[in-house]
Chain A
Amino acid sequence: MPSLLKTESLALTLTLNTLSWAGLILRDDYTKTQRIIMKVYGGLVFLYLFVFTAYVQIADLVVIWGNIDFMTETSLILFMQLAVSAKVLTLMLKSKKIMEVTNEADAILNSEKKVEGQRIIASIDKNTTLFLKYYGFFVAFTIICWFMGENTSTFFIRSKYPFNELKSPGREFAFVHQCIVVIFTGSFDFNVDIIIISLVAVCRCRLKLVALSLRNLCLDIPMNKRNLITSDEEKVITERLRNIISQHKRALDAAEAIKHYLSGALLVQLMVSIVVICTTAYQLAVKKSTTMQSLTMAGYLFGTSLEVFLFCYQGEFLRESSEEIADAAYECPWYTLTRPLKKTLLIIMTRAQRPATLTAGGFVTLDITEYMAIMKASYSFFTVLQQVSE
């Protein structure tokens, strides 16, 4: 059995390993037979967890059609499963490319020798670990509440099985299935989200390191009275600039690749989040429910809002880090450089004006303003739902 995957980021290490044990991500160090086995295993896991569950829930939806309360309850879970399965599917299909990006980033971060650079890496790692903890707490809390609460269904999720679930062995099978679904869907959702966030954080880290190198371009070049560098110093700086530009290009390529792979999944996630937020708010506000149920709904509401917020926050940070490159180029003493070097810096600054962003479906840029728009949209749908129910 291959050993543990190790990366620079703690969050990425934990989550990538968890998912690879479930067969959803294929590691590079698998042999051909192992690869095929893991692919089949992963496919089976996906089928059992998502496709089968979706089927039983849709079957139930057909049966209870017309009853708004039950319908909202089932559609809530269904939509959340949809979002998770979209994300997991993306990861499974693009697993190889994502591992490539991760390995490349890992190599670059590992080879960072400057003290300040290591400090930047450590602070971003701490940031991601913090997200891991907060988000993990919410997911665990919601799962526990779901288990402890009373539901209108026989077990935990409303569903209609193709067999009789009230008599054994159907009863045991259904019970085990539901337990697994509740626990594992939640934890896979959590893992995939943290992977996405860590990937974006790693891109951000690389861009920050480029900015650091730009800022320190003339670090050990003494300032002379003429305020102009000598031709030897010019050679040194030209070489440094060339390295920085290639670093910048590769970081931007990686960010573009990540954006491309995750775009579809993020769009599904956004649509689903709007639906989930307004349905949970409706359940909390309108339906009479026990404390446990209210807690679960509140947990879902906060968890989903937090999820979207984390994506938008990371998107905002990514954009900010790529725009920071222009400021970093301005911070070095460029007025002492020769004209060709100044023109080079100018081209870097012009490129940095078009920032690297995270998008959903290619048309929605994920940043804080988008988060506010999502919250407003959810709230208006919630008020419409309230009107419909009255």
Chain B
Amino acid sequence: MMTKVKTQGLVTDLMPCIRLLQAAGHFLFNYHADTSGMNMLLRKIYSSAHAVLIVVHYICMGINMAQYKDEVNELTANTITVLFFAHSIIKLAFFAFNSKSFYRTLAVWNQSNSHPLFTESDARYHQISLSKMRRLLYFICGMTVFSVISWVTLTFFGESVRMIASKETNETLTEPAPRLPLKAWYPFKTMSGGGYVFAFIYQIYFLLFSMALANLLDVIFCSWLIFACEQLQHLKAIMKPLMELSAALDTYRPNTAELFRVSSTDKTEKVPDAVDMDIRGIYSTQQDFGMTLRGAGGKLQNFNAENNPNGLTAKQEMLARSAIKYWVERHKHVVRLVASIGDTYGTALLFHMLVSTITLTLLAYQATKINGINVYAFSTIGYLVYTLGQVFHFCIFGNRLIEESSSVMEAAYSCQWYDGSEEAKTFVQIVCQQCQKAMTISGAKFFNVSLDLFASVLGAVVTYFMVLIQLK
């Protein structure tokens, strides 16, 4: 019934993630084969229904928080839960309002240049990025399901009560509360019976879908970063053959070792055809690229050639220039992709960090009240690990992007540029100059996404925890 939709570039790579996003209820309406009015309407109704259900439950949790705002313990716990699920609401709304820029970023890689010399390397790194993206998706999906299961399991342990401070005697009393994963206000009775079962199922749905909403959007962001990093790896990998190629341009370097040695391998050399415009035929063997210049420079540099004292035909010069053009255009394409990613997701990261900072501060306070291995300890540590894990998730990929983009300059320097022509040296100069500044993703310019950010967040949590322990 559903015909295969024709996709290209990033959309093809990220299709499983996109389908999961659509299933979770994000307002993602592109990339369907069948765009008839009826089906689009059905999809819009599906997404809106999810949005309404999730927002309604969130409001119920908010009402519960307002009801018990006089109890400090209850207030802190409810605030943490409300902030925890604020991520999902924010990301849902963010995607709905910003879907155009998401589509734009997904379309950035629709047309990419190619060069016959480098297609093999391109394909290899593309495959690596694809497998990494899949692995990330499976891991995050697994973690989400595991979190939901462990949350529901934890509900059945311990006392299901609320801590109320009695005004007269000033000690904490316990008030029975329904044994549900989340504390929320419902217009019907949920202590037992039909209301309890309904609320329980609603809450499982809410847990699963809201966590999926938030995590899958982060997965898309990190997948983009993985793709960009692998493209940079590809560029670094082809720097060396490119240098060796353009080493032939206009410099004559006597190969001193060869002068005193009879070369024995020239019989297998394939001489390029003078009228053959197909540049793929010139270099057909791997050994043309595997050699070093000082050792056996004879293949690229033919001392006996009549047309050019440097051993080059015009075609070889064209080849070298076209390779440089491919490198530079591919690099510019990666820069455009990273800029687009930053514009699309930067604000979402800013909101995420704001909410996470407040959540972690409150969690540090809650952690000081742990007094043994019980349900309270498990739930507090669970919240902590999950929140820190979310921040770590995008910090580590942002950091990798920074490292990869600043190491391009080192790769340019580490290839044998001094053997290259003046043309090659100018190319290396400009590339080094441009790649000095690493490509970063910033949260609306307020911070850069890197492991430094994660370290500062972690340090802040530990500091608050230590200070609060002292104050007790």
Contacts and interface: CB of A to CB of B under 8 A. Distances in A.
A290 interface: no
Interface string B311-325: 000000110011011
Interface in A294-343: 316, 323, 326-327, 330-331, 333-336, 339, 342-343
Contacts of A195: none
A335 B317 CA distance: 13
A349 B321 contact: no
Interface string A363-390: 0000010001000000000000000000
Contacts of B437: 323, 326, 353
Contact of A228 (B321, B328, B434): B321
A342 B426 contact: yes
A299 to B, nearest CB: 24
A335 B436 contact: no
Contacts of A154: none
B436 A353 contact: yes
Contact of B433 (A316, A336, A350): A350
Contact of A349 (B325, B422, B426, B434): B434
Contacts of B324: 227, 335
A331 B332 contact: yes
| Residue from A316, A330, A346 with most neighbouring chain B CB atoms (10 Å) | A330
Contact of A326 (B325, B422, B423, B433): B433
B438 interface: no
A226 interface: yes
A327 B430 CA distance: 11
A353 B446 CA distance: 21
A346 B426 contact: yes
A244 interface: no
Nearest to A347: B433
A336 B436 CA distance: 22
A316 B426 CA distance: 32
Task: Decide if the interface of chain A is mainly helix, strand, loop or mixed.
Answer: helix
A354 interface: no
A372 B430 contact: no
A372 B321 CA distance: 47
Contacts of B335: 327, 330
A345 B423 contact: no
A309 to B, nearest CB: 11
Contacts of B321: 226-228, 335
B151 interface: no
A338 B318 CA distance: 14
Interface in A217-237: 225-228
Interface string B420-437: 001100110110011011
Contacts of B318: 225-227
Nearest to A371: B446
Given A225-B318, A226-B318, A335-B324, A368 B430 contact: no
B167 interface: no
B445 interface: yes
A223 B429 CA distance: 23
Contact of A342 (B430, B434, B446): B430
Nearest to B321: A227
Given A327-B335, A330-B332, A368-B446, A227 B325 contact: yes
A226 B324 CA distance: 12
Contacts of A228: 321
B445 A345 contact: no
A330 B430 contact: yes
Contacts of B322: 227
Given A228-B321, A339-B422, A346-B426, A330 B446 contact: no
Contacts of A346: 426, 429-430, 433
Interface in A200-226: 225-226
A330 B331 CA distance: 10
Nearest to B327: A335
Interface in B322-381: 322, 324-325, 328, 332, 335
B273 to A, nearest CB: 18
A296 B189 CA distance: 47
B427 A335 contact: yes
Contacts of A327: 335, 434
| Residue from B433, B436, B445 with most neighbouring chain A CB atoms (10 Å) | B433
Interface in B390-411: none
A372 B332 contact: no
B332 A349 contact: no
A368 B445 contact: yes
Contacts of A349: 430, 433-434
A241 to B, nearest CB: 14
A339 B423 contact: yes
Nearest to B422: A339
Contacts of A368: 445-446
A319 B249 CA distance: 39
A328 to B, nearest CB: 11
A206 to B, nearest CB: 22
A316 B444 CA distance: 12
Nearest to B277: A225
A153 to B, nearest CB: 39
A335 B433 contact: no
A343 B446 contact: no
B442 to A, nearest CB: 9
B226 to A, nearest CB: 23
B139 to A, nearest CB: 33
A331 B429 CA distance: 15
Contacts of B434: 326-327, 330, 349
B235 to A, nearest CB: 14
A35 to B, nearest CB: 43
Interface string B266-307: 000000000000000000000000000000000000000000
Given A326-B433, A330-B430, A368-B445, 19 more contacts: A225-B318, A226-B321, A227-B322, A227-B325, A323-B437, A326-B434, A327-B434, A333-B325, A333-B328, A334-B328, A336-B325, A339-B422, A339-B423, A342-B426, A342-B430, A346-B430, A349-B433, A349-B434, A353-B433
7 contacts: A226-B318, A227-B318, A333-B325, A335-B321, A335-B427, A353-B437, A368-B445
- 4 closest pairs, A vs B, by CB? A227-B321, A342-B426, A330-B434, A349-B433
Interface of A: 225-228, 316, 323, 326-327, 330-331, 333-336, 339, 342-343, 345-346, 349-350, 353, 368, 372
